[in-house]
Structure 1
Amino acid sequence: MDVVKNATIEWLNQAERFYATVPQAMLLKYNVREEELNQASQMVQQVMELLALQASAKAKVQDLTQQRNQQLEVMKQWMQQFMQIAKVATKDSPQQMEALGIVVPS
């Protein structure tokens, strides 16, 4: 995937250089209006900005996923402690465990 992304970025850089340096004579020779050239150049800029935004969003998602996983681990440990305490506290009355939503084998 990175190879494709790098190739895309290189192509966009090349297109940007082309639009910035294309000779006026070439535009006239091929009947390309300057406004078309400007529009194409703007589209290249927009794609480059969107790629940067995408990379930033991807990094943010990875960070949030790591935070979520850390919090899930904390919650898992807390629930394990809670279950141990609940088992001790309700050992004489299994129905109380079921009231907590924990199925107790008969």
Structure 2
Amino acid sequence: MNLYKNDDLVEATNLAINNTLNNPGRQQQLDTFGWGEPQFTTGKNLLKIYEQRGTAQTQLQNEQWALSQQINSGLQALAEQFKEHVRIVQVALRNDTTLLHSLEIDRLAQRRWEFVRQAGNFYGQLQDQKVSLEAYGISSKEIQQNCSAANELLQLKEVRADKKSAAEQSTQDKREAQATLRMWVKYFHTIARMAFRSQPQALEAYGIRVRATV
């Protein structure tokens, strides 16, 4: 078994616990080497913590992925609308240089989140100044929806950043739990090799490799 692999570590822990607690003879033999009920209780608790942290890590990573998908979809929809509306507004308001300047659309931002902030300002200014563009095919409802979409994307960006930070911490927590559980299994294997040095079948039941004798 490779105790650095998740499945092998969990299996090794379960073999150590179940193949002992279900066998009174092995329990008694291990107990003479100082490995009794308290040590198995510790093993159970360590396994539970490790599995809980693994579940938490997976959940946070899935949430982060879902947020990324939502953001990417929203960005694409906003970009299509924003670029089209900018072209229309630059023509519709070409004689109102003051208003055009306030919209900050002389040049579209290249960076993703600067682009979103630019879109938010654009639609926000159109709302605040009550600019009517119905004659050019842009409804006030579209302006309001796109303004809300830009603001929501910025909020989702912050939420995703928090999820990313939490996911990174959960990964660290899982690694620490994994290292602690691995040490427990290794220590058990050391005790088991001494307790069952003349009982290769017992060692094999724990997933411990036994050297073939000539």
Normalising by structure 1, we get a TM-score of 0.80
**AA paired with 1:56?**
D
How far off its partner does 1:98 sit?
1.4
Which residue, 30, 52, 60 being the options, matches 2:158?
Answer: 52
Runs of 4+ in 1 over 6 A off after TM superposition: none
CA distance in 2 between partners of 1:85 and 1:27 (Å) = 80
The answer for the alignment partner of 1:8 in structure 2 is: 112
Q: Which has the higher helix share?
A: 1
**AA paired with 2:118?**
Q
Which residue, 107, 116, 121 being the options, matches 1:17?
Answer: 121
Normalising by structure 2, we get a TM-score of 0.43
The answer for the alignment partner of 1:69 in structure 2 is: 175
Identity, in percent, stands at: 26
1:39-85 superposed Cα distances (whole Å, 9 cap, x missing partner): 11111122222222211111111111000000111111111111111
CA distance in 1 between partners of 2:206 and 2:190 (Å) = 13
Aligned residue pair count = 101
The answer for the alignment partner of 1:87 in structure 2 is: 193
User: Is residue 2:171 matched to residue 1:43?
Assistant: no
How far off its partner does 1:29 sit?
6.0
> Mind listing any 5+ residue stretches in structure 1 that lack a counterpart?
1-5
CA distance in 2 between partners of 1:8 and 1:99 (Å) = 57
